[in-house]
Amino acid sequence: MSESMTLGESLRRRGISRRSFLKYCATMTSLMALSPAMGPVVAATLERIRRPSVIWLSFQECTGCTESLTRSHNPSLEGLIFDFLSLDYHHTLQAASGEAAEQAREEAMRENAGKYLVVVDGSVPLANKGYSTIAGKSNLDILQETLTGAAAVVAVGTCAAFGGLPKAKPNPTGAVAIADIVKDKPIINIPGCPPVPVVITGTLAHYLVFGRLPEMDQYRRPKAFFGTSIHDRCYRRPFYDKGLFAESFDDEGARKGWCLYQLGCKGPMTYNACAVLKWNDGTSWPVESGHGCLGCSEPEFWDAGGFYRELSVPIGQSTRTTAYAAVAGLVVGGAVGFMARTHRDTAKRAHEPVSVDQLEQKL
Amino acid sequence: MKDPMAFLLWVKGPAFDLALAVFIIGILLRILEILLPGRAPNYAEPRGGEWGPGFRTIVSRSMADSGTFQRAAFNVIVGYIWHLGFLISLLLFVPHIAVFASLSGMSWPGLPNPVIDGVTVITLGALLGMLVHRLRHPVMRFLSTFEDYLTWGVVFAVVFSGYLAYHRIINPYPLALGLHLLMVEVMLILFPFTKLMHAITFLFSRWYTGAIAGRKGVES
Amino acid sequence: MNELSFERGLNAWRAEIDAPVAAFFSSCVHCGICATACPFYVETGDPRYTPIHKLEPLRLLWEQEFTLWGRIKHALGLSPQITDEMLAKWEKLLYDSCTMCGRCSMVCPLGIDVAYMVRKAREGMVASGHAPEGLINASLRAVRIGSPMGLKFKTLQVQIQHVEKHTGLKIPVDQVGAEYLVLLSSMEIINFPEYLGAITRIFDQVGITWTLSSEAYEATNAGVQIGSSDIARQLVERVVKIAEKLGVKNVISPECGHAYTAIRWEGPNLIGRPYPFRVFHVIELIDQWRASGKLKTEGKESDRLTMHDPCNLARKSGVIQQQRQLMDLVAENFVDLKEHGRLQWCCGAGGGVSSNERAEELKMTAFKRKKAQIEEVSPERIVTMCATCRTQLEEGLEHYNMEIPVVGLTELIAEHLASKG
């Protein structure tokens, strides 16, 4: 429930020190790739604003995105965002349930019409609206209903951003990305399976400070966090460049921390901040713990050819194609070759001998 | 581009299957078109064999005799540089070896990436040199047709797009890699219907020449 | 169908397509290296003389009628129509600027046997009526008279009597049961009559039974030069018939290039069966006797000698070592041309070019390549084993004001036959 007091007042009420607040603002500033001079601006703005209402809709999702954001051992920077926002509806985090929860959502929508943020995780099924419902209402209906007074939409996680796992072949539920449905509201995608927690909070913080969504790439991802590839920031890159690759998960190369390209790492095609920000407060990230990047912040990553096959390998049906093509080639080639042979033999039989008398006519 | 990842997945997926199919069907078609007309029986008393000389010529024809070498030095030297460079970058670059392994089950060690990078640059230079030569040498200019320039362009595009992708000069990477694979697929599709087939048919033409000469007792 | 026609020409080409032709045309990458091996291109700089280009109409026919993709291209109008005009245009390329020497076939990096295909291309040219006048006349005379130069047996008889008188030896004619049937070339009989005397004396020393034939004395084959298997067959059959009638074991081809190719390699395929006799070039034969010790020589030439290998004998038939082994017998100062044997340069006159008056000037220009080879070595005399090559060498050297005598190898051997007793 939103309040009339400012964010600064609200924080002080909860016992969050000024020092923590400023540290948070400084961190957010650098994370958003803003110049350090912007730090005080961020702080001043956040101090003044009223906590915006956030309605978090969860559709065909695994709750991993929420887990990522909230899984912290001690109060973390990530978790602070919940102090900056008024999270008025969230299946996992809210205290209310059932009718009361739905009423809370409707009330927040009424009270903050035109100004609330809609955060979505999970994809929406279109093949049959009944595949995913909450309180009897389909995901699609809830989304469209909730959109009416939204200021902006934040699609958190690859499912919401691109369709994610439910959309993987054969996509039995007809799952689509949120951006496929939302056409007339500002929308931003924060993909990842799950997204790096501080990427979510940094993006939300940007919105809080500037009142608009940050600069996005062609997939509507914030460029600040998705502008460089894993490959370009990977600490194992020198091994790639030297051509030193681990070939199995426990061989010498693996133990020496060599590049994981041959074990299917999709780092070169993946744009995310994992290599820099890492996970669990900078503890580690997939490559550092010896597993190739899955490319989880990219569209269709589940159908991109397999997590353990190299990025360069074709992902279709090469073996079947080769077999059928070989048969077809032999049949067609055999026929055409035989026709050529016959054409020649016919001409041979049709040959009328040249005689000197005939030659003489040409003189 | 609106959806680089979809482009990459299409190029790596159905487009590759299509190109592979055309490539295989086309090559088998061309080979059978060549072999099935056969040879007329030869009743002249042979002076030598056919099989040995035929296979020997497949190898020996790779070396120009010294007189011809002097008269066509640029052609021979630069021709070899770009062919060898192309083959080295194709066969000894780890991501490429992965593709061959996925198609054939066979794998082999590669060269370090920076070595391949250097070889690629040399290959591109040699290719450009060959183009200039083709445009300037009276015989090559006279003989050359649209197909000669088209095949040059396709081969150059394959190597160049690979270079651009490796160095991430085109962004985002799915677009760069997708373009490289697309160029490869264009080459695979054009291969059986152009002079690119010589990469396979040279085995037959050299063998036949060696056999014809060998039967007459001539080293060829 | 009595007249030669464009349609008969195309049909002749269709009949010539085989797997090697298809492999060759599939493999050409337009590298132009074949041109560097052709004396006609090298001495004129005219790219139209590029060997593979001489075959373009044949290649078009193969592509448009024997390949699926070629048929599609042609149907879409992407491939030019082969016309009689095109064939007329190509006549000079295939006859005036090509001797079928095969050097291009030797250097092509793809292993394309261009000369093999030029021989086939000429089949279509003849059948469509696009062959040079000189070769047509040579064919007429060869078939009707028995010699491309119109030489009749009675003229040869005069030669025979002259040699018999001069050597005191008998020259057998129409001898049944002789071991060797010996053929002659009109060019030799007319221009280099010392050849007949030379072989008479050599055969006498070695002690073989041999014979000429009054009905089949001519070795040369205008049919092979003009490129008509039908005509070539008529000429070969004449020899085969006599050889079988006389029951000889071997047929000997004289100092000529294409005559050997015609009877040794093409002949059996023209008649569709293996011979019941063997065929040798006279040089092969004499070298066999050197190797077995039957040939006895004495003395050696002391002047600086070099050798011109006839293309049909060396590169196209593998007779390369034999002439050199014989030279070692009779020459103490022999030096090979730099590119000799299988890579030797054509004199420019073979394959019918010397019978083609229209090609005279071009032939002399092409000879400059040979001339350069000779100048590199600065010989006092040149030895060769083909009457056409010999004539071209003599005329060419005279044309360029070089005084280097040319001599036949058989004649040279005969001059050094060890005296009896």
d(CA C107, CA C114): 10
Domain-embedded: residue B171: yes
Chain B residues closer than 8 Å to C269 by CB = 40-44
SS3 C308: strand
Q: How confident is the model at residue A350 (pLDDT cuts 50, 70, 90)?
A: very high
A287 phi, psi to nearest 5 deg = -65, -40
For A205-219, B43-57, B152-166, which range has the lowest pLDDT when averaged over its residues? A205-219
Tell me the pLDDT tens digit for each residue of A225-270: 999 999 999 999 999 988 899 999 999 999 999 999 999 999 999 9
Closest residue in B to C73 (Cα–Cα): B193
Query: Can you tell me whether residue A219 is helix, strand or coil?
Result: coil
Residue C122 CA to residue C352 CA, distance in Å, equals: 11
Those residues whose C-beta lies under 8 Å from the C-beta of residue B197, and which sit 6 or more positions away, are B27, B30, B191, C26, C27
Q: Tell me the pLDDT tens digit for each residue of A16-65.
A: 888 888 888 888 888 888 888 888 888 888 888 878 899 999 999 999 99
The answer to whether the Cα torsion of A157, A282, A15, A64 is positive or negative is: positive
Report whether A203 contacts A214 (CB < 8 A): yes
- Go through C111-128 and write b for each residue having 16 or more CB atoms within 10 A of its CB, e for each that does not: bbbbbbbbbbbbbbbbbb
Q: State whether residue B138 sits within 8 Å of chain C by CB.
A: yes
Q: In what order do the strands lie in the sheet with A86-89?
A: A86-89, A53-58, A116-121, A150-156, A187-190
Position A72 pLDDT exceeds 60: no
Nearest Cα to A222, choosing from A236, A238, A205, A244? A205
Nearest to A297 by CA among A267, A264, A261, A272: A272
In angstroms, rounded to a whole number, what is the distance separating the alpha carbons of residues B155 and B172?
23
B166 found inside a domain: yes
In 3-state terms, what secondary structure has residue A113? Answer: coil
For B100-140, write each residue's pLDDT tens digit.
Answer: 999 999 999 999 999 999 999 999 999 999 999 999 999 99
Distance from CA of A37 to the nearest CA of B (A): 30
**Which pLDDT tens digit goes with each residue over C234-264?**
999 999 999 999 999 999 999 999 999 999 9
- Look at residue B78 and tell me if it is in a domain: yes
Are the Cβ atoms of B13 and A337 closer than 8 angstroms?
no
Interface ipTM: 0.96
Q: Using CB atoms, which residue from A332, A352, A359 is nearest to C140?
A: A359
**At which residue do the structure tokens 């002080």 appear?**
A12
Chains that touch B (3 or more CB pairs under 8 A): A, C
Backbone angles phi, psi at C311, to 5 degrees: -55, -45
- pLDDT per residue over A185-195, tens digit each? 999 999 999 99
* Least Cα separation, residue C321 to chain A (angstroms): 38
- Partner A contacted by B118 (CB < 8 A): no
Q: Determine the structural domain holding residue B152 and report its residue range.
A: 4-29+65-216
Task: Calculate how close chain B gets to A343, using CA atoms only, in Å.
Answer: 9
Instruction: Confirm whether B91 is domain-assigned.
Output: yes
For residue range B18-34, list pLDDT tens digits in order: 999 999 999 999 999 99
With respect to residue B57, please indicate whether it lies within any of the assigned structural domains: no
Q: A40 is written with which tokens?
A: 């005080």
Distances (CA, A) of C278 to C182, C208, C250, C316, C317: 12, 15, 5, 18, 15
d(C-alpha A265, C-alpha A263), whole Å: 6
CB C14 to CB A343 under 8 A?
A: yes
User: What band does A75 get if pLDDT is binned at 50, 70 and 90?
Assistant: very low
- Output the CA angle A278-A279-A282, nearest 5 degrees: 65
Of all residues in chain B, the one with the smallest CA distance to A311 is: B95
The first and second tokens of residue C321, run together, are 């070592």
- Tell me whether residue B54 is in a domain: no
Residue B131 lies in a domain: yes
* H/E stretch holding C280: strand C278-281
Buried b (16+ CB within 10 A) or exposed e, C226-250: bbbbbbbbbbbebbbebbeebebeb
Looking at the DSSP bridge assignments, the partners of residue C91 are none
Q: H or E stretch including C251?
A: strand C250-253
What part of B 150-169 touches C (C-beta under 8 Å)? none
Count of B-C CB contacts under 8 Å = 184
Contact C4 A340 (CB under 8 A): no
Q: For the residues of A12-71, what is the DSSP string, one character each?
A: HHHT--HHHHHHHHHHHHHHTT--GGGHHHHHHHHHHSBPPEEEEEE-B--SHHHHHHH-
Minimal Cβ distance to B28: which of A231, A298, A329: A329
Residue C275 confidence (pLDDT): 97
User: So what's the pLDDT on residue A74?
Assistant: 46
The Cα C143–Cα C138 span in angstroms is: 9
For residue B172, list chain A residues with Cβ-Cβ distance below 8 A. 217, 229, 269, 271
CA C315 to chain CA centroid, Å, is: 11
* Chain B nearest CA to C48, separation (Å): 8
Q: A326–B112: do the CB atoms touch at under 8 Å?
A: no
Total number of domains constituting chain B? 1
CATH of the domain at B125: 1.20.950.20
Across the interface, do B209 and C112 touch by the CB < 8 Å criterion? yes
Decide if B52 is inside a domain: no
Q: Which helix (H) or strand (E) holds A88?
A: strand A86-89
